[in-house]
Chain A
Amino acid sequence: MFLQQLKLTDFKNCPSTELDFSEKINCFIGNNGAGKTNLLDAIYYLSFCKSYFNNIDQQNIRHGCDFFSVHGHYRRNGDTDLVSCIQKRNHKKSFRFNKKEYDRLAEHIGKIPLVMISPYDRDLINEGSEVRRRFIDGMISQSDPIYLDELLKYNKALLQRNTLLRQFAESGRFDSSLIELWDEQLHKAGTILHEKRHSFLKTFIPIFGDYYNIVSGSSEEVDIVYESGLFDHPLINALKSGIDKDRQLRYTTSGIHKDDLQLMINGFPLKKFGSQGQQKSFVIAIKLAQFEYTRNIMGFKPILLFDDIFDKLDDQRVGQLINLVSQDSFGQVFITDTQKQRIGRLFDATTIDHRIFEVQSGMVKLTIE
């Protein structure tokens, strides 16, 4: 499947444009602030019904305009599907598949699989553990509805237990039998989630390791270590023995909501001991592994968005990446960069089907076909 045509109206800084894409590689070239990434974001919208960058839909309407619209024609096995997203100011977002409005946006997500690689991915390294948990939760939920259901149950039970802890602390009384009720629920859901995370990572980590070697061109030893209290004790025991601490802090201190992924390079934490280039290669490899995992589950190739591909990578590594994504195991790819000559050099030597678009203050034009 690939995006054949994209039509934008008043989306971010782009007044109006209509673009026809290559089935393989498409590059957006332009200066900072020209609107390259906005084009990627429009494509992201059509897959996930929201922006990758700004969760407030209304703020994606071009300044002074009343609405934005994004329309994409997707081709798959000779059929064309039209996906549309229309956001009017002070209205609900409207999302349509072949002109039919969705009742729930969740129905759309997964229909057009897409992986975005952007400089923001470094949040996976630098930010708190919830970013990493959200990442694996998203990946597993995509193919395992039971996982999502258990996760929602777990979060609800956690909220109830924490509320109870707070109520007890405020009122000064305590009833352990009431807490134990929620312990039991957390234990049941938490154990399932823990096992599923564990087995997911067992498949995911080898794929990731292979991609790291390709991206970095080295044989540094990388690993993702799943850290969870549930490896040491069944959750029910940890909840019971931690109850005094929980009462003091007024929240639940053990459980899978404390799980983390430790990103390692040559046996040391990547966050502290990895160079910027190593960190970059690491997150790109994670995202490419996500691509492959999604492809295996969906049975067809997701669209790949590559924002600011030269960020912290040298020409040689980027060359390797382009070669990699040109292969048949990858489908349609979108790339942004600031320098025309650099991209030109990369593609002059290849025979791969590609198109280069120049972006200037929201206006886009095709330069090379």
Chain B
Amino acid sequence: MTEYSSILLENAVNELSRLPGIGKKTALRLSLHLLREDKSRTEALSRSLSLLREKIVFCKKCHNISDSDVCAICSNTRRDENLLCVVEDIRDVMAIERTSSFNGLYHVLGGVINPVEGISPSDLKITSLIDRMKIEDIKEVILALPATIEGDTTSYYIYRLIKSENLKITTIAKGVAIGDALEFADEVTLGRSIMNRTPFDNG
């Protein structure tokens, strides 16, 4: 005896519920929604998903998701080619782009060093970063990796590989969020903000 009246429905529910954040009930709701909608909506959805898998490429330079060999950011001549921001993940590129505060180029590592999860430096786009440092005219590298021990370790690993006299290597500041009252900041963050305080005229 199956739970669903149709094996087709059951298949759709099973596939949908494999997605992160979607359980059986939500999957059923989505499936029934699609059945109620116009048939063309479902066709458009499945077409766009298939195309996503077939056509998507990763930028040869920065490994960001792209429609062409070189992504829109890397091929944009108005961006500052001397400035390179190293991030863990494609989502981090999107997050930094939303700030409109950065006009340089990116390099997406695809993860951070984590032996427990089985991720070693050779699984990350580090060799290609070293190659880029040789060919491109990069004057500053910003290490924008997560504020975890694994992120720090990865930053340190990259730092040791790329450090040289003419290269400035920086890391993003960590501290109290804008608009937050100090009393609501957690003790560790606030404690570190005080230890790593910055001169007022730079702020």
B-binding residues in A (CB < 8 A): 145-146, 148-149, 153, 156-157, 159-161, 163-164, 167, 177-178, 181-182, 184-185
> Do the beta carbons of A157 and B116 come within 8 Å of each other?
no
Most buried by A among B116, B148, B160: B116
Q: How far is the CB of B107 from the nearest CB of chain A, in Å?
A: 19
> Do the beta carbons of A164 and B115 come within 8 Å of each other?
yes
Q: Which residues of B contact A156 (CB under 8 A)?
A: 148-150
Interface of B, secondary structure class, is helix
**Residues of B112-136 contacting chain A, CB below 8 A:** 113-116, 120-121
Q: Which residues of B contact A161 (CB under 8 A)?
A: 115
Number of residues on chain B facing chain A (CB within 8 A): 19
> Do the beta carbons of A160 and B115 come within 8 Å of each other?
yes
Q: From the candidates A157, A164, A167, A178, name the one contacting B149 in the complex (CB within 8 A).
A: A157
Q: From the candidates B153, B186, B191, name the one contacting A182 in the complex (CB within 8 A).
A: B153
Q: Which residues of B contact A159 (CB under 8 A)?
A: 116
Determine whether B187 belongs to the interface, using a CB cutoff of 8 Å to chain A: yes
Q: From the candidates B114, B156, B188, name the one contacting A145 in the complex (CB within 8 A).
A: B188
Q: How far is the CB of B94 from the nearest CB of chain A, in Å?
A: 27
- Bound: A184/B160 CA distance, A: 12
Q: How far is the CB of B149 from the nearest CB of chain A, in Å?
A: 5
> Do the beta carbons of A160 and B150 come within 8 Å of each other?
yes
Q: From the candidates A146, A163, A181, name the one contacting B153 in the complex (CB within 8 A).
A: A181
Q: Which residues of A contact B102 (CB under 8 A)?
A: none
Beyond A156-B149, A160-B115, A160-B116, is A181–B188 a contact (Cβ under 8 Å)?
Answer: no
- Bound: A184/B113 CA distance, A: 14
- Bound: A12/B188 CA distance, A: 38
Determine whether B58 belongs to the interface, using a CB cutoff of 8 Å to chain A: no
- Bound: A149/B150 CA distance, A: 14
Q: Which residues of A contact B153 (CB under 8 A)?
A: 157, 160, 181-182, 184-185
Q: Which residues of A contact B157 (CB under 8 A)?
A: 181
A-B contact pairs, 6 of them (CB 8 A): A146-B192, A160-B115, A178-B121, A181-B113, A185-B152, A185-B156
Q: How far is the CB of A284 from the nearest CB of chain B, in Å?
A: 32
Q: How far is the CB of B148 from the nearest CB of chain A, in Å?
A: 8
> Do the beta carbons of B187 and A145 come within 8 Å of each other?
yes
CB closest residue in chain B, given A163: B115
- Bound: A160/B119 CA distance, A: 11
> Do the beta carbons of A185 and B120 come within 8 Å of each other?
no
- Bound: A98/B8 CA distance, A: 52
Beyond A160-B114, A163-B116, is A146–B149 a contact (Cβ under 8 Å)?
Answer: no
CB closest residue in chain A, given B187: A145
**Residues of B130-162 contacting chain A, CB below 8 A:** 148-150, 152-153, 156-157, 160
> Do the beta carbons of A178 and B120 come within 8 Å of each other?
yes
Q: Which residues of A contact B160 (CB under 8 A)?
A: 177
Q: How far is the CB of A161 from the nearest CB of chain B, in Å?
A: 8
CB closest residue in chain B, given A152: B149
> Do the beta carbons of A146 and B115 come within 8 Å of each other?
no
- Bound: A146/B150 CA distance, A: 18
Q: Which residues of B contact A160 (CB under 8 A)?
A: 114-116, 149-150, 153
- Bound: A197/B63 CA distance, A: 45
Q: Which residues of B contact A167 (CB under 8 A)?
A: 115
Q: Which residues of B contact A178 (CB under 8 A)?
A: 113, 115, 120-121
Q: Which residues of A contact B186 (CB under 8 A)?
A: 145
Interchain residue pairs A-B with the least CB separation, the first 7: A145-B187, A163-B115, A164-B115, A149-B188, A156-B149, A153-B149, A163-B116
> Given A178-B120, A181-B153, A182-B153, list of 17 further CB < 8 A pairs?
A146-B188, A146-B192, A149-B188, A156-B149, A156-B150, A157-B149, A159-B116, A160-B116, A160-B150, A161-B115, A163-B115, A164-B115, A178-B113, A178-B115, A184-B156, A185-B152, A185-B153
Q: How far is the CB of B23 from the nearest CB of chain A, in Å?
A: 19
Q: How far is the CB of B121 from the nearest CB of chain A, in Å?
A: 7
- Bound: A112/B4 CA distance, A: 53
CB closest residue in chain B, given A179: B115
Q: Which residues of B contact A146 (CB under 8 A)?
A: 187-188, 191-192
